[in-house]
């Protein structure tokens, strides 16, 4: 990676870290291109009726890995998720399995992924922990985690229902 790329990546990561906990907003990749995520490309107000109906049955802030797998399977079978989106969201379940989470244990997936980003960005910003520059593998991992978080935030916004002020502001 060239030096200019490292500096740009650091700027991107610092900017993204400052956005943790805020509603999803359009972000940029290290190359300055818009980061296409489910939350930025089709916000909750743009979600399909089928997606809304299925997601409304689940709460990603209090869901088990088994329930999450069931939800994304239903979304895919209903045509609300493409094969690629299913594969991307299936990585959430893989992450949970790798962490040793019991399939029936409920957890807050949004908070879990916010913590993942915080830890990842902390390791990238910590000169003692990363030698002052991100490894080639960390930046793609950060983008991948951000995409999963964007999906989870989208699902959480849908689950809050249209009577919530946050969702009304997006409509």
* pTM greater than 0.75 (yes/no): no
Considering only 36-40, 75-79, 124-128, which range has the smallest mean pLDDT?
36-40
Nearest alpha-carbon partner for 146 in 4, 2, 28, 8: 28
Helices (H), the chain: 3-18, 38-41, 49-55, 65-77, 83-98, 109-125, 127-130, 138-160, 165-170
Integer angstrom CA distances of residue 97 from 100, 103, 119? 5, 8, 19
Integer angstrom CA distances of residue 59 from 27, 45, 87, 144? 26, 18, 20, 22
Extents of the domains making up the chain: 3-13+48-160
pLDDT tens digits, residue range 59-105? 999 999 999 999 999 999 999 999 999 999 999 999 999 999 999 99
């Amino acid at each position: 990676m060239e030096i200019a790329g490292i500096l740009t990546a650091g700027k991107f990561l610092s900017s993204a870290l400052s956005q943790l906990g805020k509603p999803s907003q359009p972000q940029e990749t290290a190359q300055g291109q818009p980061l296409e995520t489910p939350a930025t490309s089709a916000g909750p107000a743009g979600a399909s009726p089928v997606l809304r109906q299925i997601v409304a049955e689940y709460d990603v802030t209090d869901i088990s890995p088994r329930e999450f797998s069931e939800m994304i399977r239903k979304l895919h079978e209903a045509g609300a998720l493409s094969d690629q989106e299913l594969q991307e969201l299936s990585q959430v379940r893989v992450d949970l399995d790798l962490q040793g989470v019991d399939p029936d244990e409920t957890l807050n997936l949004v908070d879990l992924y916010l913590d993942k980003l915080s830890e990842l960005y902390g390791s990238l910003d910590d000169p003692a922990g990363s030698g002052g520059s991100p490894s080639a593998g960390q930046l793609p991992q950060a983008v991948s985690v951000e995409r999963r978080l964007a999906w989870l935030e989208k699902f959480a916004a849908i689950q809050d229902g249209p009577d919530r002020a946050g969702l009304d502001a997006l409509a």
